[in-house]
């Protein structure tokens, strides 16, 4: 593994940029797919219950928008998975036995499931029974959600690697418990929170499009009923996401304390920690967390961070410097300092190199005791393997401004949407909502805001775990393929042009479909 230290850092930067580009574009399509899947299911359920053609045409309209978005999501998603092999081959070699399993299940089971039933949903009207068609619509949405589950299991394993062990004979991490990988608390929390956020985005989209129809005085009955459906769906999803958000914060505090500290710009931790509302963080440069205890102009809610992180208002939350220097956890165990982790990581790397040398020796028959001792050394120090490639403290601290502000965009946007859904329902029940044009315009303008908020959530998740491709096990600069920077740079711009074109095409097709409206 020592050859992995000789990495072209420019290639690492371009590989990261290309993967981030693909992931960001892909995530523009996925949330709307998951959100509209529920909305179109609700609409068709109403048709099944009442037999009214109004609900059938309403379901067809939202299904049409779902289909346009679904196609674009598939195109970008396939490219994203191929990049693990092209740009991150060292990563794929080391952990492909673990990481590949959920992605294989996603492709074989979930993707084929949604692909099968989506055909019945679009082309089965008047060809299959109403009950079978309704089932196909819901199963299409379920397939998309199951697909998200397995992808998020893979992503969560990178954030919290469990259910695996390193095999020094193959130089690969091998799965020891599929259940631990598939059902880890990080995977469960990430799935619930991500799907709920997608439902909120879908609800905002439905409310925004319906508001546009009311502003234009078109399809008024359809707009009102879709507006009500979207607002109720959004308000319920928002309430659930608040609960999942608290549990996610607790899980992050237990498994990725550095991510939480970066999200909060918490340089020096302690007990009774407040939750920062806003602070004077320079958005363009990494703060000097070694020299100050907290950022300037800090406005915070007393005790709230301790409660989120520990379920105790007086709980201890470590800051960035505490994590770097080493601290004592709530259960009494000691977390080593960064210097200790680096030493143990290098011990693991050197032991692996020696193990390979002895295994490859011509006279290896007498090496069994040494090999067993090296196996023990590797096993004991493998949890800190990735730190063996770290050179200084700054490398293991995520870029604080992105984590800090993206988290506040995510939370602030979520609060805005709660207010939006509540106001829409209030005006629908108590007043004539067409007179509240300010609210309708606000709902329409919230559509792009919802995408910004959704992307902010992913920025928190992915920037917050840097510099790790796999938490504590593999830094990004070690997982990259042995490619020239120019090669990755060229494909970056090719993908940028391709994805931008796809996005422009999708927006154009979606706008035309919305302008045409439902066939009522």
423-440 pLDDT, tens digit per residue, is 999 999 887 888 899 999
Say how far apart CA 256 and CA 248 lie, in whole Å.
11
- Which residues span the domain enclosing 512? 31-183+483-520
Please report the pLDDT score of residue 1 as a whole number. 44
Q: Tokens representing 251?
A: 């899980």
Residue 4: pLDDT over 60: no
Instruction: Indicate the helix (H) or strand (E) that contains 23.
Output: helix 9-50
Residue 144: pLDDT over 60: yes
The 3-state secondary structure of 111-180, one letter per residue: HHHHHHHHHHHHHCCCCCCHHHHHHHHHHHHHHHHHHHHHHHHHHHHHHCCCCEEEECCCCEEEECCHHH
SS3 299: strand
Q: Tokens representing 509?
A: 């097709």
Say how far apart CA 305 and CA 311 lie, in whole Å.
9
446 in a structural domain = no
Please report the pLDDT score of residue 103 as a whole number. 86
Please report the pLDDT score of residue 493 as a whole number. 93
Residue 357: pLDDT over 90: no
CA 106 to chain centre: 16
Q: How many Cα atoms are found within 13 Å in the side-chain-facing hemisphere of 156?
A: 28
148 in a structural domain = yes
Q: Which residues of 119-145 are buried (b: 16+ CB within 10 A; e: fewer)?
A: ebbbeeeeeeeeeebbbbbbbbbbbbb
Quick check: 30 and 148 in contact, CB under 8 A? yes
Mean pLDDT along residues 48-57: 92
Say how far apart CA 393 and CA 325 lie, in whole Å.
10
Q: What are phi and psi of 276, to 5 degrees?
A: -75, 130
Mean pLDDT along residues 45-50: 94
Please report the pLDDT score of residue 140 as a whole number. 92
Residue 133: pLDDT over 60: yes
Lowest mean pLDDT among 24-38, 93-107, 142-156, 497-511: 93-107
Mean pLDDT along residues 413-427: 95
Mean pLDDT along residues 416-427: 95
Q: Which residues of 484-508 are buried (b: 16+ CB within 10 A; e: fewer)?
A: eeeebbebbeebeebbeebeeebee
Please report the pLDDT score of residue 366 as a whole number. 61
pTM for the full predicted model? 0.92
285-312 pLDDT, tens digit per residue, is 999 988 888 899 999 999 999 999 999 9
Say how far apart CA 163 and CA 165 lie, in whole Å.
7
Quote the percentage of the chain above a pLDDT of 90: 61
For all residues of the chain together, what is the average pLDDT? 90
CA 504 to chain centre: 24
End-to-end CA distance of the chain, in Å?
A: 64
141 in a structural domain = yes
Instruction: Look at 284 and 483; give whichever has higher pLDDT.
Output: 284
54-73 pLDDT, tens digit per residue, is 999 999 999 999 998 988 88
Mean pLDDT along residues 346-372: 80
Quick check: 199 and 233 in contact, CB under 8 A? yes
Mean pLDDT along residues 174-178: 92
Say how far apart CA 34 and CA 40 lie, in whole Å.
10
Q: Tokens representing 452?
A: 């910004």
Residue 270: DSSP 8-state? B
Q: How, if at all, do strands 172-175 and 275-278 pair?
A: unpaired
Please report which residue ranges of 256-381 form alpha helices under DSSP H. Answer: 257-264, 304-310, 320-325, 338-359, 368-381
Say how far apart CA 346 and CA 377 lie, in whole Å.
11
179-223 pLDDT, tens digit per residue, is 999 999 999 999 999 999 999 999 999 999 999 999 999 999 999
Residue 177: pLDDT over 80: yes
265 in a structural domain = no
Please report the pLDDT score of residue 3 as a whole number. 43
288 in a structural domain = no
466 in a structural domain = no
Q: What are phi and psi of 184, to 5 degrees?
A: -65, 150
Number of domains composing the chain? 1
39 in a structural domain = yes
41 in a structural domain = yes
Residue 11: pLDDT over 90: no
List, in order, residues 6 or more apart from 168 with CB less than 8 Å away.
352, 355, 356, 374, 375, 378
């Amino acid at each position: 593994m020592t050859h992995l230290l000789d990495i072209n850092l420019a290639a690492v930067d371009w590989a990261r940029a290309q993967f981030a580009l693909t992931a960001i574009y892909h995530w523009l399509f996925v949330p709307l797919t998951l959100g509209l899947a529920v909305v179109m299911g609700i609409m068709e359920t109403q048709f099944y219950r009442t037999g009214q053609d109004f609900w059938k045409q309403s379901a067809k309209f939202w299904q049409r928008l779902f289909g346009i978005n679904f196609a674009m999501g598939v195109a970008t998603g396939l490219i994203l998975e191929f990049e693990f092999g092209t740009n991150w081959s060292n990563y794929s070699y080391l952990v492909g036995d673990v990481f590949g399993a959920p992605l294989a299940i996603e492709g074989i089971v979930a993707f084929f499931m949604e692909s099968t039933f989506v055909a019945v949903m679009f082309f089965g009207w008047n060809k299959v029974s109403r009950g079978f068609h309704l089932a196909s619509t819901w199963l299409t949405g379920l397939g998309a959600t199951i697909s998200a589950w397995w992808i998020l299991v893979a992503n969560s394993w990178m954030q919290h690697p469990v259910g695996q062990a390193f095999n020094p004979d193959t130089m690969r991490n091998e799965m020891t418990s599929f259940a631990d990988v598939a059902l880890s608390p990080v995977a469960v929390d990430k799935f619930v929170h991500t799907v709920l956020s997608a439902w909120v985005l879908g609800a905002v989209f439905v409310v925004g499009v319906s508001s546009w129809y009311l502003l234009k005085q078109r399809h008024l009955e359809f707009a009102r009923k879709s507006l009500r459906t979207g607002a109720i769906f959004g308000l319920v999803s928002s309430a659930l996401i608040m609960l999942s958000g608290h549990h996610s914060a607790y899980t992050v505090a237990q498994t990725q304390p550095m991510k939480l500290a970066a999200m909060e710009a918490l340089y020096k931790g302690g007990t009774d920690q407040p939750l920062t509302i806003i602070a004077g963080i320079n958005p363009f440069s990494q703060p000097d967390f070694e020299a100050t205890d907290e950022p300037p102009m800090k406005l915070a809610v007393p005790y709230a961070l301790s409660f989120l992180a520990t379920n105790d208002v007086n709980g201890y939350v470590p800051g960035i410097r505490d994590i770097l220097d080493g601290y004592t956890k709530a259960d009494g165990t000691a977390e080593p300092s960064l210097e200790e982790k680096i030493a143990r990581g290098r011990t693991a790397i050197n032991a692996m190199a020696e193990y390979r040398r002895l295994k490859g020796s011509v006279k290896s028959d007498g090496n069994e005791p040494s090999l067993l001792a090296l196996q023990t050394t590797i096993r004991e120090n493998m949890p800190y393997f990735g730190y063996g490639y770290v050179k200084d403290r700054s490398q293991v601290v995520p870029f604080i401004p992105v984590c800090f502000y993206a988290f506040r965009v995510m939370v602030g946007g979520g609060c805005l949407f709660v207010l939006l859904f509540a106001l829409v329902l209030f005006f629908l029940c108590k007043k004539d909502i067409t007179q509240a044009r300010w609210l309708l315009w606000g709902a329409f303008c919230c559509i792009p805001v919802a995408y910004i908020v959704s992307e902010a959530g992913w920025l928190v998740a992915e920037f917050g775990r840097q510099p790790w491709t796999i938490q504590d096990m593999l830094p990004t600069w070690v997982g990259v393929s042995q490619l020239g920077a120019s090669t990755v740079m060229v494909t970056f711009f090719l993908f940028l042009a391709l994805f931008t074109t796809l996005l422009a095409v999708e927006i154009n097709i979606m706008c035309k479909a919305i302008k045409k409206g439902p066939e009522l």
